[in-house]
Structure 1
């Protein structure tokens, strides 16, 4: 099946983090492609990837980058597809520089951003975008939200049963 989400890593060192996005997309049954490209070290490859993404069937691109974090913005400059930036916790500023780089895009080149190391939420956001036109994905997201609510209720019931000290001791 054709990939609907493109995951682009600025470096293979981002792969452990982005595994959270891969797992969530797998859980939601959304096909994806994954590639390593760099806004700085492989600018032509990055631009070509973005320019051809829509023709390949992609609906959303998730781009992970640390430090200067130009990858999501460079991709967004070359496509009209939604781009979600994942700032990677790295370097002296622990990802704050990446977060600022992703959210401070110039007018006309929007990039959505999730939290630092927010790969799982990037996948969920990508799924929510796809769900606007795909009822199967929509139903899976509704189920995910219901599961999250049930987990909260179960934790609350356990806290009430055990009390604070015992709850924390067993955690």
Structure 2
């Protein structure tokens, strides 16, 4: 069963796609419908504002915004919607993504943007899924199963480590 709401993934540039593709893959695994677009806070501010302002009525439940350098995209989108916005700061050659991280996380009061790690697209998709799962038990069950699989993987690695220690 697919989620009731879609996730929007907006990139400031198509050069962000190699990072953003991790979010696309995760949302596909979780069977969450999505749309992915390139919009710029600086080059196409009106298009970004219009998209964000109409996102809820167009069936979106969460917006993910990925941008590097000045990284104002998440804030611009958040300013025009009441939907949750998750920012992905993209690492650039200039300051290794620190500029994007600070521009994304340091939002003024009243315009929150949830921010994941630099290049943290997979976590952005998981966070978006968790937000949607608040009203979608099927999706919540998929997320619980995913976390159980992760826990089992760690337990297997620990068991293997313990075996190596015994051999010393």
Shorter-chain TM-score bucket reads over 0.9
The alignment partner of 1:106 has SS state of coil
Please give the residue correspondences for 1:7-46 in structure 2 after superposition, counting only pairs within 5 Å.
7-46=9-48
* Runs of 4 or more above 3 Å deviation: 163-166
The alignment partner of 1:33 has SS state of strand
* Structure 1 residue 97 corresponds to structure 2 residue 108: no
User: Hey, what's the Cα distance between the residues in 2 that align with 1:141 and 1:62?
Assistant: 18
Unaligned 5+ segments in structure 2 are none
CA deviation vs aligned residue, 1:71-111 (integer Å, no higher than 9, x gap):
00000001000000000011321001111011110111110
User: Kindly tell me: are residues 143 and 93 of structure 1, through their superposed partners in 2, closer, same or farther at Cα, counting changes over 3 Å?
Assistant: same
CA deviation vs aligned residue, 1:118-158 (integer Å, no higher than 9, x gap):
00000000000000000011000000110110010111111
CA deviation vs aligned residue, 1:20-54 (integer Å, no higher than 9, x gap):
00111111111111000000011111111101111
Q: TM-score, normalised by structure 1?
A: 0.93
Residue 138 of structure 1 is aligned with which of 134, 137, 140? 140
Verify the 8 A CA contact 2:6 2:33 in the aligned structure 1: yes
The alignment partner of 2:63 has SS state of strand
User: Hey, what's the Cα distance between the residues in 1 that align with 2:154 and 2:84?
Assistant: 31
Verify the 8 A CA contact 1:3 1:33 in the aligned structure 2: no
The CA RMSD over aligned residues, in Å, is 1.7
User: Hey, what's the Cα distance between the residues in 1 that align with 2:165 and 2:67?
Assistant: 42
Unaligned 5+ segments in structure 1 are 167-171
User: Hey, what's the Cα distance between the residues in 1 that align with 2:64 and 2:165?
Assistant: 41
Residue 165 of structure 1 deviates from its aligned partner by: 10
